[in-house]
Amino acid sequence: VTVTSTEEALIAKQAGANALCVQGAEAGGHRASFRNNAASHENASLLVLLQQIREAVDIPLIAAGGIMSGSDIAAVLAAGACAAQLGTAFLRCPESGAN
């Protein structure tokens, strides 16, 4: 389940989620949210959001949003994620098919 706030993480866990994909504000326009009217507190950076959600739930967290380098991966792992999800970073790869 993709979450963008601690509130969403708690809802997802209560609904039975076994892991959470945590998207920080760096994810940009494609960022998934439970609501259409995101409050300002839902615009936390990925590293801050990971730390907040790690304190609230005890299930695996996958970090997503704005991760572009090995140092970004190291930072999200240090902030409590068990994995990093990259997307945009691969658009320039020949295998992506993007022009």
Q: What is the pLDDT of residue 54?
A: 97
Residue 3 pLDDT exceeds 80: yes
Q: What is the pLDDT of residue 34?
A: 62
Q: Of residues 93 and 3, which shows the higher confidence score?
A: 3
Average pLDDT in the chain: 87
Q: What is the pLDDT of residue 40?
A: 46
Q: Of residues 91 and 64, which shows the higher confidence score?
A: 64
Q: What is the pLDDT of residues 22-56, one digit of tens each?
A: 998 887 666 666 666 655 446 789 999 999 999 99
Q: Pick from 86, 79, 74: which is nearest to 54 by CA?
A: 79
Strands (E), the chain: 2-3, 20-23, 61-64, 83-85
Helix, strand, or coil here: 84? strand
